[in-house]
């Protein structure tokens, strides 16, 4: 099994982490300067056999929701490609995700179009990965990882806002019917608990107003907001984030949730980076931003892995067949030995009977005459 390494890009630098057996180990940090790119190239060559996951933790993201007629085949791909070009011009790091179809009317399909809008930020990293022929599994973002593990943490189909702290800042991710709708990142200056509390309270109020204006939240209803934080820091956050008529704040213990997801490392504060790395490595999202050309070596690795798995299966089947044949040969050998022994015993008894008969001084010819 190949070792998995997560490359976290925050816009100005890239940090390399190794995931193995539910534990995260930070290995190196690289700047986007020429010296940093050169150091990254050496790091990639040193770990050529590893699987690399590029995780974007930046504020330059775009999300668009649209209800489209349900189409299939080539028309569907052409429609999505055209919409992505209209919403996110000149960025190859874009994708479309189906959020399901309506149950009435003409049953339109709700599609989420998402993109990393500043592709030039990731160009040096992708160039280094391509030149080193590294096995890049994909380019992911924090919202895509939260879309994979967030519903398990929230455990509800109702509209809910999830607030998490990462290296980039405070991220607000909105879910409805367990599906990701949008996410935004608020950067921090001091990363103090007081600043985090103020940002969580102010941004939650802004997002509530936005959701009501966009009719994603019915008027008169309260927005359930869940803050994922370390247990010892929750009382300080409660002083800033107090429930009201519009927003209902809830708190989830980051350490307890990490243990539920089988992360073995301990978390000293409310930074959820390690939990995100663990979710990315253990439950990799199916959707990612990288074009097919960037993940060519990953597809080749999967083909080689599949062929190796088939080879091992064939080898195991041959071993089973050889074992079965060997057992059958041993059984036949035992049966032959028993038959030989029985024949020898019968011959001995026959000779004993002949020896017990009275002797006759006649030849067989005379006896026949």
Spatial contact of 272 and 8, defined as CB atoms under 8 Å apart: no
User: pLDDT of 144-196, one tens digit each?
Assistant: 999 998 888 888 888 999 999 999 899 999 999 999 999 999 999 998 999 99
223-229 and 247-253 beta bridge pairing: parallel
Residue count of the chain: 369
- pLDDT of amino acid 182: 92
What is the mean predicted confidence (pLDDT) over 63-73?
A: 90
The pTM of the full predicted model, rounded to 2 decimals, is: 0.85
- Distances in Å between the Cα of 209 and the Cα atoms of 182, 217, 241 are 15, 9, 16
- pLDDT of amino acid 153: 84
- What is the 3-state composition of the chain as percent helix, strand, coil, each rounded to the nearest 5? 45, 25, 30
- pLDDT of amino acid 6: 96
Which phi and psi (to 5°) does residue 239 adopt? -70, -25
Which phi and psi (to 5°) does residue 30 adopt? -130, 140
Which phi and psi (to 5°) does residue 268 adopt? -85, -20
Whether 369 shows a pLDDT value over 80: the answer reads no
Q: How far apart are CA 83 and CA 301, in angstroms?
A: 32
Burial class (CB in 10 A: 0-12, 13-18, 19+), 200: buried
The tokens for 139 are 């380019």
User: pLDDT of 266-287, one tens digit each?
Assistant: 888 899 999 999 999 999 999 9
What is the mean predicted confidence (pLDDT) over 29-41?
A: 93
User: pLDDT of 294-305, one tens digit each?
Assistant: 999 999 999 999
User: pLDDT of 125-136, one tens digit each?
Assistant: 999 999 999 999
Whether 363 shows a pLDDT value over 90: the answer reads no
Spatial contact of 121 and 58, defined as CB atoms under 8 Å apart: yes
Q: Residue 163 pairs with which residues in a beta bridge?
A: 172, 227
User: pLDDT of 337-362, one tens digit each?
Assistant: 999 999 999 888 888 887 877 776 77
Q: Which residue is listed with tokens 């593990």?
A: 149
Helix (H, G, I), strand (E, B) or coil at 216: coil
Closest among 291, 257, 267, 269 to 119, alpha carbons compared: 291
How does the average pLDDT of the chain come out, rounded? 91
- pLDDT of amino acid 107: 87
Helix (H, G, I), strand (E, B) or coil at 137: strand
pLDDT band at 116 (very low <50, low <70, confident <90, very high): very high
């Amino acid at each position: 099994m190949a070792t998995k390494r997560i490359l976290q890009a925050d816009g100005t630098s890239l940090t390399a982490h190794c995931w193995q057996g539910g534990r995260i180990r930070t290995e190196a940090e690289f700047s986007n300067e020429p010296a940093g790119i050169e150091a990254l190239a050496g790091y990639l060559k040193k770990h050529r056999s590893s699987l690399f996951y590029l995780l974007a933790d930046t504020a330059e993201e775009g999300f668009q929701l649209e209800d489209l007629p349900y189409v299939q085949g080539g028309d569907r791909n052409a429609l999505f490609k055209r919409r992505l070009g209209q919403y996110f011009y000149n960025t190859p790091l874009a994708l479309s995700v189906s959020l399901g179809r309506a149950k009435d009317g003409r049953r339109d399909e709700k599609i989420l179009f998402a993109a990393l809008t500043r592709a030039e930020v990731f160009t040096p990293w992708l160039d280094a990965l391509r030149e080193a022929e590294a096995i890049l599994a994909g380019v992911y973002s924090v919202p895509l990882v939260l879309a994979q593990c967030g519903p398990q943490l929230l455990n509800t189909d109702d509209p809910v806002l999830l607030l998490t702290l990462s290296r980039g800042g405070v991220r607000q991710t909105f879910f409805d019917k367990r599906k990701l709708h949008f996410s935004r990142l608020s950067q921090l200056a001091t990363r103090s608990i007081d600043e985090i509390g103020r940002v969580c309270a102010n941004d939650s109020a802004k997002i509530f107003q936005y959701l009501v204006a966009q009719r994603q939240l019915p008027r008169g209803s309260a927005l359930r907001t869940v803050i994922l934080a370390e247990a010892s820091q929750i009382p300080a956050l409660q002083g800033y984030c107090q429930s009201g008529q519009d927003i209902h704040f809830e708190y989830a213990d980051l350490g307890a949730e990490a243990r539920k997801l089988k992360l073995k490392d301990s978390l000293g504060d409310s930074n959820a980076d390690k939990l995100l790395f663990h979710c990315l490595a253990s439950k990799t999202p199916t959707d990612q931003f990288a074009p097919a050309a960037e993940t060519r070596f990953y597809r080749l690795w999967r083909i080689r892995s599949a062929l190796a798995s088939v080879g091992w299966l064939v080898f195991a089947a041959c071993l089973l067949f050889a074992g079965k044949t060997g057992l059958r040969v041993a059984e036949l050998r035992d049966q032959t030995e028993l038959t030989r022994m029985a024949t020898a015993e019968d011959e001995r008894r026959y000779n004993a009977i002949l020896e017990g008969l009275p002797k006759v001084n006649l030849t067989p010819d005379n006896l026949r005459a």
